[in-house]
Amino acid sequence: MGRNGAGKTSLLRVLAGTVQPDEGGVWRQETLRIGYLEQEVPPDADLTVFQVVATGLGEVGELLAQYHHLSHGAASAGESMKLMSELHARIDTLAGWNINQRVETVLTRLSLPADKLLADCSGGIRRQVMLARALVSEPDLLLLDEPTNHLDIAAITWLENYLFDYHGALIFITHDRALVKHLATRIVELDRGKLASFPGDFESYLRKKDELLEIEARAAAKFDQKLAEEEAWIRRGVKARRTRNEGRVRALQTMRKEHAERIAVQGKARFSIGGGVTSGKLVVDLRRVSFHYGDNVIVCDFSTSILRGDRVGIIGPNGSGKSTLLKLILGEVAPDSGQVVLGTRLEVAYFDQHRRLLNPEKTVRENMGDSDHVTVSGKSRHVIGYLKDFLFPPERIDSPVSVLSGGERNRLLLAKIFTQSANMLVLDEPTNDLDVDTLELLEDLLADFDGTLLLVSHDRTFLDNVVTSTLVFEGEGVVREYAGGYEDWQRQSAASGRSAELKPAVAKVAATTANVKRSDGKRRLSYKEQRELESLPGKIEALEAEQAQLQARMSESNFYRQPSPMITAGLERLETVKKDLEESYARWQILESLTAG
């Protein structure tokens, strides 16, 4: 572990043998097999995904890659059959068919397209391909640099379980606190050029680290006091030049040198959000919304209400439609059916996961605007001082964005959107590449934010610490709402008998229809049905009010400090109210369709 830019990746490269240390040596077992996942996305390659993954298996992998290539009709029939026969015999000799199953298993688990060219894959898919390549060889030592970047929660969970059962040695760099908590048995921290080892789990590391920082601060204060006393002594003059005090003078010179070389603890990022005007109580109301791309259903017949102050997490597999749902809510795309109603006086700040707001050809300063001053929370600040709060030193702000690391780009985008006055934050994957200190600061900031938050994230700890309800893409266009964060969703799914695994997102339009059957025949409502139709708006309004009250209670910090039965009762009542609301809306639409028939 360590801050962004501390040198963690360089250290891993030394361990992998891809770079050599300036001094000292690295000893490795002679037969050591190393699997290494680098942080950078691999360049274009004229190989299929299967071929790239199989190269992690050495000679057997290359043979399997050739056989797979030929078996998919890449050569003429005669040449292909002859080569395939030779390859088959050689793979048999090396007992390679069991290994072939290993390649296919990893590809399936990471949902990778075996026959797609790597050059045609996105950056995220390429990273997953290289992760599969590192895993497939089952090495003695596995080195992983930010392995969860660009993975969705389903893939992260699979990876976590795989690594938990892995029998080799594992060294990994990550800012995913849940991964560290579940896997690490020892934490090595790189801080200001020095390594410190902390045996035990993540919580033990945090406690010990706090103790060491306190000890370091006390020692530094004592040192500085002693230095000040010696500086006062030397300024008093003649006595310092006496022969008997030469040792004391030399000691002072050493102290001065030590003080100059002492690197202070790197500062933490400091930032705040400028609150806008108070929005209306209703922020967003989605009414039986459906949307599809081509034949693929993204959202089917989905209804929900988002009220002022709600903190809503959105989770689901990659490609399930999380970003599309945000665009539906923001009005950037229109639903195929249903209605999206936005509240009044909304001021939206939008963090786009693709960082389209940043121009990579411009400098950090230029991306902040044309002026040397920015307005934050109604106050004017110089852009250099403002960017220092986001850990950009003055010499860095005239660097082009194209040379920034992923973490630096995310901090710059946060700096840019936080200059806006907003009462609604829409954050699409804001946590990628941020170090733990910055993540925790962002959590505290969002906890104090008075407005409404919509958050897409695969960071389980971040979701648990920030959101009060969760929208989950459960496959085939189904989106369900749960109270609480990631862990709460897991518990509620288990309690209701539903699987807590995230399924592939899309379904065919032909296989998905609205849940409500509409009557095409004309007929008049009965007296009982007419009274029911007249009573439904009042019933729905009462249920929505109760739902809002329950969600408000659950957003309070003391809700989850209650006895477990009271928490369970509250969660169950919220589920009941939500189900009653869905049924009331469905019944209302049926009766309305009959009258309009």
Q: Which long-range contacts (CB under 8 A, 24 or more apart) does 220-226 make?
A: 220/262, 223/255, 223/258, 223/259, 224/259, 226/255
Q: Which residues pair with 508 in a beta bridge?
A: 296
Closest CA to 110 of 127, 96, 93, 97: 127
At 229-242, the pLDDT tens digits run: 877 777 776 555 55
Q: Do domains 8-192 and 527-596 have the same CATH topology?
A: no
Average pLDDT of the residues in 407-434: 82
At 349-368, the pLDDT tens digits run: 887 766 677 888 889 888 88
At 40-54, the pLDDT tens digits run: 666 656 788 888 888
Residue 335 contacts residue 328 (beta carbons within 8 Å):
yes
Q: Is 148 helix (H, G, I), strand (E, B) or coil?
A: coil
- pLDDT higher at 245 or 171: 171
Q: Would you tell me which CATH number, out of the four given (3.40.50.300, 3.90.850.10, 3.30.360.10, 1.10.10.350), belongs to the domain 274-511?
A: 3.40.50.300
Residue 184 contacts residue 220 (beta carbons within 8 Å):
no
Q: Where are the domains positioned within the chain?
A: 8-192, 205-261, 274-511, 527-596
At 535-590, the pLDDT tens digits run: 887 888 888 888 878 777 766 656 666 776 777 777 778 778 877 877 787 777 67
Average pLDDT over the chain, rounded to an integer: 79
At 417-430, the pLDDT tens digits run: 788 788 899 988 88
Token pair for residue 260?
A: 């100059």
At 123-149, the pLDDT tens digits run: 667 778 888 888 887 789 999 998 887
Alpha-carbon distance values, 231 to 225, 243, 257, 259, 399 (Å): 10, 18, 13, 13, 40
Torsion of CA 589, 594, 595, 597, to 10 degrees: 120
Average pLDDT of the residues in 255-271: 63
Q: Which amino acid is at 514?
A: A
Can you tell me the distance from the alpha carbon of 116 to that of 107, in angstroms, rounded to the nearest whole number? 12
Provide the percentage of residues in the chain whose pLDDT is more than 70: 81
Residue 324 contacts residue 380 (beta carbons within 8 Å):
no
Residue 353 contacts residue 428 (beta carbons within 8 Å):
yes
At 64-88, the pLDDT tens digits run: 777 777 776 544 455 567 677 777 7
Residue 389: CB partners within 8 Å, gap ≥ 6?
269, 270, 271, 415
Q: Would you tell me which CATH number, out of the four given (2.40.50.140, 3.30.930.10, 3.40.50.300, 3.20.20.10), belongs to the domain 8-192?
A: 3.40.50.300
Token pair for residue 421?
A: 């006055």
Look at 177-186, 289-298, 346-355 and tell me which has the smallest mean pLDDT. 346-355
Label the pairing between strands 478-483 and 469-475: antiparallel
Residue 326, CA atoms < 13 Å, CB-side half-sphere: 24
Q: Which amino acid is at 519?
A: S
Say whether pLDDT at 286 is over 60. yes
Look at 247-251, 266-270, 322-326, 514-518 and tell me which has the smallest mean pLDDT. 514-518
Q: What is the CATH number of domain 527-596?
A: 1.10.287.380
- pLDDT band for position 437 (cuts 50, 70, 90): confident
Look at 9-18, 166-175, 397-406, 497-506 and tell me which has the smallest mean pLDDT. 497-506
